[in-house]
Structure 1
Amino acid sequence: MVQWEGVMPAVTTKFTEADTLDLKMFEINISAQLDAGVHGIVLGGTLGEASTLTADEKRILIEKTVAIVQSKVPVIINIAEQTTKAAIEAAHHAEKYGAKGLMILPPMRYKATDFETITYFKAIAQSTDLPIMIYNNPVDYKIEVTLDMFEEMLQQKNIKAVKESTRDITNITRIKNRFGNRLNILCGVDTLALESMMAGADGWVAGLVCAFPAETVAIYKLVKTGRIKEALEIYRWFMPLLELDISPQLVQNIKLAEVATGIGTENVRPPRLPLQGAERKRVLSIIEQGIKARPKLPII
């Protein structure tokens, strides 16, 4: 059962230099996440380079992750498709391969109307028993899921949560005021995570957690136990690194950070390429400074 709370890494997909899945390094990273105490694993998001993965690769990643986690935490797969038919098919495959929940984006490429977007989400929800988190990111995907839209969609009992990425912190209060506990909220923007949780978000679908799982989990636990000053100290150290997540090159940035902490490689799938020149130096400098100043975590 998915609780839709806590820290849920949107994990990167590991590739070999020959552009095949690197399942050995993938397992090292997932194990590091589990050791840090994360509350779920999200596969196939933007960070997971989902748009470049084949259907068979997605199957392998789900099955491998299910085997690694051994029911310690739920495995959630992202669905980002261009057609309703393909999205329903992806949901069926996810359930078959062992995923315990879905994160669903609005239709890709086509800017659907509110009615079309609602119809799309409801059709997927009606096709599966898996619990669903709606990914609301109008900044990047140009479709906003409004509170009125959620009101109608929550008629589907398996729509349980929202990955809140509108960049508007007040939206958390609006959601809580209108829906109470009917809709769990997970922050989807690394640089707004502490503020979102203080405003009432139930958790954090995180990016830099891929390289720094212990620090990410510590911030969540400290906030939820009221130890705000200690959480702030870690968060302020973390911020230059967290800002690497709000970039078109977030995958390359975070994979460089994973290399620095020993739980990843730099390999990306073309057309993405490793960072070059001055930008590479800038990102490496941020990572190196973060590593040098890495805080000692309190006992929680």
Structure 2
Amino acid sequence: MNDIGGVLPVLAVPFRNDGSVDLESIPKLIEHCISSKASGVVIFGLASELYKLNDSERIQILKEVLSAVNSRIPVIVGTEHSGTQAAVARSVEAEKLGASALMLYPPTFVKPDEANILSYFTAVGSAVNIPVIIQDAPAWTGVPLSLSLLSRIISDQPNVNYIKLESPPIGDKAKALRLEGFKIIAGFGAIHLMEDLNSGIDGFMPGCSLPGIFVEINDLFYSGQVEKARTLFQLVLPLLTFQLTSLDSFIEIQKILLKRMQVFSTSFCREPHTPISAERVAYLNVLIDEIGLQELKGITS
């Protein structure tokens, strides 16, 4: 369970129309991912609306995810916090509950210097016995992570040995970090997936609405059928770029698709949130029709 790689969908959190957490939809989402042969799942990534959850809800959701997974695939848990001690506490708690690995981006409220980033990740890494993934997402966090700093982190704390790169193109940084001992996870909504696969990534974290498509692309690529993988990727690329116009849009479109597939009961997103327009929903339907993949059949109404 500590071998993290392959297709690792980031789970959206389902809400009812009154904004309460829809715990009943979580097992459906887990089965959706597992039946699509996902290699693992991620809860409390940025696409999980983690910044809109209170601490009690986080524990409820995590317990429901772990129960539904039932040790069949790894569960990666986001445990970031603006305070180092709080991040350590969240991380220890997640490990005790059964997390297979942790994922944290650096503190963002007070932008830390390199010494504080180093102490943040080494403190978390020393407190747990499971792998820790650093989320390098400066476009979202405003906190860049240099190669020299990352090299110091893995040297000081060897179980902080995965990194999720979300500042494309990732090829050169991935190559340098692999030499330092890191395993590489790609993110950024998988819109650069073919380039990422060619750079030798160990896994990637797409959205959770269509995991089967990403599993098929991944399997084709690693079985040597690169052109078929590229053709399938190019087919879904317009949808990937459309949904990543903002984090808000990405989350809502994931939920719209999951609701239409009867995995979620609603596509509700908590405030603050700017819903996508009726015109964009109409264009989403056009994209779904144009793709014409089996996983999307019959979900445009």
TM-score (norm: length of structure 2): 0.90
For 1:222, give the aligned amino acid: L
Structure 2 CA distance for aligned equivalents of residues 64 and 245 of structure 1 = 28
For 1:187, give the aligned amino acid: A
1:283 has 2:281 as partner? no
For structure 1, the 5+ residue unaligned runs are none
Give me the identity figure in percent.
23
Residue 77 to residue 115, structure 1, CA distance change in 2 (3 Å): same
The alignment partner of 1:80 has SS state of: coil
For 1:232, give the aligned amino acid: R
Structure 2 CA distance for aligned equivalents of residues 72 and 168 of structure 1 = 33
Aligned to 1:48: 48
* C-alpha contact 1:267 1:274 (8 A) present in aligned 2: no
For 2:78, give the aligned amino acid: N
Cα-to-partner distance string for 1:201-222 (whole Å, 9 max, x where unaligned): 1111112xx1111111111111
> Residues 20-99 of structure 1 correspond to what in structure 2 (within 5 A)?
20-99=20-99
Shift of 1:246: 4.7
Aligned to 1:257: 257
Aligned to 2:184: 185
Aligned to 1:121: 121
1:214 has 2:212 as partner? yes
Structure 1 CA distance for aligned equivalents of residues 115 and 195 of structure 2 = 32
Structure 2 CA distance for aligned equivalents of residues 159 and 83 of structure 1 = 18
Cα-to-partner distance string for 1:99-131 (whole Å, 9 max, x where unaligned): 121001100222211222111111111122221
Aligned to 1:159: 160
Aligned to 2:299: none
TM-score (norm: length of structure 1): 0.90
Structure 2 CA distance for aligned equivalents of residues 81 and 284 of structure 1 = 37
Structure 2 CA distance for aligned equivalents of residues 174 and 246 of structure 1 = 29
For structure 2, the 5+ residue unaligned runs are 296-301
Aligned to 1:8: 8
The alignment partner of 2:161 has SS state of: strand
* C-alpha contact 2:26 2:64 (8 A) present in aligned 1: no
* C-alpha contact 1:7 1:205 (8 A) present in aligned 2: yes
Shift of 1:154: 0.9
Aligned to 2:298: none
